């Protein structure tokens, strides 16, 4: 596997990596680097003739962090079922500008996916085929420049949910120009990182908790990963 792909945990059933920003999860015809391709190459390097990289869940291309990939179809089926039943726990960390005035809270919106524009719209009330979305946030710190470091936990996993809900609240993620950020960030990246994923091992049935701190933290942080 490419050195940029840090392996956080590997078993016979699945692989958990620290996905870098700028990498697509699924293979695309446009030639973007993909997690799917890199995992297959990693498995070939271990002698697997016909590798299987099952997509359990996704992170947007400019988002980094913990990502789970099934290595067997049987594991993919069991892990997908956990996501469907919302038995998975996820947490993210984001840098936003400006920072929220509140220490913590829950954002409540109704989201509509715009397939043509590849973005979501957030509304304060139900409309049409909009889906209800909640986003729990905790403000960890505020920089001298007014950037807020947040821990966020979404309910479910709707398209661009974290990005659009934070932007709708007036706190776009740094670097996320699609949702109104005017702050500069790294190329092909936004300041959103999946810091925690908790799921049930498909064989042992034990809860597995995998964590990863983002590379854009300014220094030591009191951010709770669990």
Residue in 12, 60, 103, 188 annotated catalytic: 60
Q: Is the peptide bond before 98 cis (omega within 30 degrees of 0)?
A: yes
Which tokens sit at 18? 């620290």
> How many C-beta atoms surround the C-beta of residue 31 within 10 A?
7
Question: Do 27 and 38 contact (CB within 8 A), yes or no?
Answer: no
User: Cα–Cα–Cα angle for 19, 25, 26, nearest 5°?
Assistant: 160
| Distance in angstroms (rounded) separating the CA atoms of residues 154 and 145 | 26
Catalytic: 60?
yes
Q: What are the distances in angstroms from CA 180 to CA 10, 67, 167, 173, 174?
A: 38, 26, 7, 8, 9
CA-wise closest residue to 178 among 155, 150, 159, 196: 159
CA-wise closest residue to 171 among 194, 139, 195: 139
- For the annotated catalytic residues, the residue numbers are 60
């Amino acid at each position: 596997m490419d050195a940029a792909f840090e392996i956080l945990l590997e078993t016979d059933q699945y692989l958990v990596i620290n996905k870098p920003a700028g990498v697509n999860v699924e293979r695309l015809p446009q030639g973007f680097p993909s997690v799917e391709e890199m995992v297959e190459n990693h498995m070939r390097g271990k002698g697997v003739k016909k590798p299987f990289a099952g997509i359990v869940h996704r992170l947007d291309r400019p988002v980094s962090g913990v990502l789970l990939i099934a290595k067997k179809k049987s594991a993919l089926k069991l892990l997908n079922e956990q996501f469907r039943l919302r038995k998975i726990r996820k947490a993210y960390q984001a840098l936003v500008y400006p920072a929220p005035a509140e220490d913590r809270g829950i954002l409540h919106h109704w989201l509509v996916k715009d397939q043509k524009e590849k973005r979501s719209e957030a509304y304060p009330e139900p409309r049409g085929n909009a889906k209800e979305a909640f986003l729990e946030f905790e403000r960890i710190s505020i920089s001298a420049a007014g950037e807020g470091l947040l821990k966020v936990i979404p309910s479910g996993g709707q398209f661009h949910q974290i990005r659009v809900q934070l932007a709708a609240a007036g706190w776009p993620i740094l670097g996320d120009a699609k949702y109104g950020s005017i702050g500069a960030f790294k190329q092909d990246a936004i300041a959103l990182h999946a810091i925690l994923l908790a799921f049930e091992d498909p064989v042992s049935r034990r809860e597995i908790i995998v964590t990863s701190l983002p590379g854009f933290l300014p220094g030591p942080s009191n951010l709770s990963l669990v």
